[in-house]
Amino acid sequence: MSLALATLLYEWRRYMAAVVALAFSGLLVLAQVGMFVGIGKGFTAQIDRARADIMVLGPGAKALFGGPSGLPRRMIPLVYSHPEVIQVAPLDGSGGRFQNILSPEQQAKAEARAKRGEKGGGGRKTEFVNVTVIDAIPGYVTVPTDYSNDMIEALRRPYSVAIDQTALKRLGVKKGDKAIYNGKTITIGVVTTGYPNIIQPTLVMSRDTLRMLGEADTGQRVGPLMVSIRDPARAEIVAAQLNKKADGKFRAWTRQELADANSGAMLEDQIIGIMLGFSAFLGLLIGVAITWQTLRGAIMANIKEFASLRALGVSMGDLRNIVMELSFWVGIVGVLAAGLLTWLVSLLATAGGVPMYFPPVLIAIVAVFLVVIAMLSGFLSLGVLKNSQPADLLR
């Protein structure tokens, strides 16, 4: 084992501050990106798992929801008229106030808690929710690919809705509970996984349920169109042909195009870019400052030993290499610590309904970033080696 590694392992307490600083620098960047990508994934989950080969949106729209994505109803026959199109169905959606219903026992417990002045879950919840619809027909174009027939069956029941598991706690309900949506009683019939949305929880219901709630589109405009075609492999070609036909009145996207546009839009967002850049800069600054000072102190603590190596003829260049190797290992340990810390935070976040997602490229970049911070700090602390004067050992 090399001197640098042995020193780091044996005197690990001395290097703790540097490792912790690096871990937090890494966490600062990783947790943010992980969260943004996680949110982005939530946004594109519907697109990724849609059965539609092509999605038709209003001109200028990029997202399925939350934007002027709809188009005039008369576009439906226009899309249908393409010979390869077999199904066209508009997405529909709504939104409103959601309240959970407490059983008398739950009510009593919540009140007792409130009396004791405690906070916490279990009480009465009111949340604003999104609503999207599917057609409760197995294999239909609006049904996500990961919905089982049982789930569709459950949603076919009137006033039955699906909620993602990440939203259960926030809404204060569990599977089978009754709740109130815009003043009407609904049932949590299905719990989905993998559709997180930290901005607003989403209810999925059948088109008929939405109609019975009186919130379905009946006017001249409809939501984006989900289109399935005879040969999914020809999606790009058909989308191009549809776009020609559209003449600017709508835009047809393949599923992949739309997913890319959505996740890209997330990270292109100026604010997010600035936040990330700023965090990385802050992480760099704090990481370098603390790691530098830690390394300086650690080297000074061993300066006499370094001086004795100088006396025995080990060159200054070799001592510098020892310091650089030491800082490299500090960086590696920092990467491991950052990974551990980020993992813990992501567990917490997932439990809190904010699943994080870490693309491998991102992890690699942050790892390199931390090692660079450590080595930069090592480089800055090379100066203290000039104190390793072997003549000072002779007194």
Using CB under 8 A as the criterion, which residues of the chain lie in contact with other proteins when the complex forms? 1, 3, 6-7, 9-11, 302, 304-305, 307-316, 318, 390-391, 393-395
* Closest CB 322 distance from Mg ion, rounded Å: 28
Residue 233 interacts, among Mg ion, other proteins, none and using kind-specific CB cut-offs from 5 to 8 Å, with none
Interface mask (CB under 5 A) for Mg ion, residues 158-177, using x and -? --------------------
* 271 binds, options Mg ion, other proteins, none, Cβ within 5 to 8 A by partner type: none
Comparison of 116 and 395: residue with beta carbon closer to Mg ion: 395
The residues that bridge with 98 in the sheet, in sequence order, are 127, 181
Cβ nearer to other proteins, comparing 236 with 305:
305
Nearer residue to Mg ion within complex by CB, 199 or 393: 393
Partner in contact with 391, chosen from Mg ion, other proteins, none, beta carbon below 5 to 8 Å by kind: other proteins
Q: Which is nearer to other proteins, 236 or 318 (CB)?
A: 318
Q: How far is the CB of 375 from other proteins (least distance, A)?
A: 21
Distance CA 90, CA 226 (A): 6
360 binds, among Mg ion, other proteins, none (CB under 5 to 8 A by kind): none
* Beta strand extents in the chain (DSSP E only): 54-57, 71-72, 85-90, 93-100, 126-134, 160-164, 178-181, 184-192, 202-206, 221-222, 225-229, 251-254
Task: Mark residues 356-395: x for contact with Mg ion by CB under 5 A, - for none.
Answer: ---------------------------------------x
When the beta carbons of 353 and 390 are compared against other proteins, the nearer one is: 390
By beta-carbon proximity to other proteins, the closer residue of 192 and 294 is 294
Is residue 326 classed as helix, strand or coil in its secondary structure?
Answer: helix
Residue 364 and residue 351: Cα distance in Å, rounded?
25
Whether the Cβ atoms of residue 216 and residue 145 lie closer than 8 Å to each other: no
CB of 328 to other proteins, least distance (A): 16
CB of 393 to Mg ion, least distance (A): 10
Size of the site for Mg ion (CB under 5 A): 1
Other C-beta atoms within 10 Å of 26: how many?
A: 26
Q: Which residues, in sequence order, are CB contacts of 314 under 8 Å at separation 6+?
A: none
What is d(CA 199, CA 63) in angstroms, rounded to the nearest whole number? 15
Burial class of 364 by CB neighbour count within 10 A (0 to 12, 13 to 18, 19+): exposed
Measured CA to CA in angstroms, residue 329 lies from 213, 236, 317 at distances of: 62, 50, 18
Binding-site partner at residue 364 among other proteins, Mg ion, none, CB < 5 to 8 Å by type:
none
Instruction: In angstroms, give the least distance from the CB of 3 to Mg ion.
Output: 28
Which residue type, as a one-letter code, is found at position 185?
T
User: What is the three-class DSSP state of 219?
Assistant: coil
Contacts to Mg ion by CB under 5 A: 395
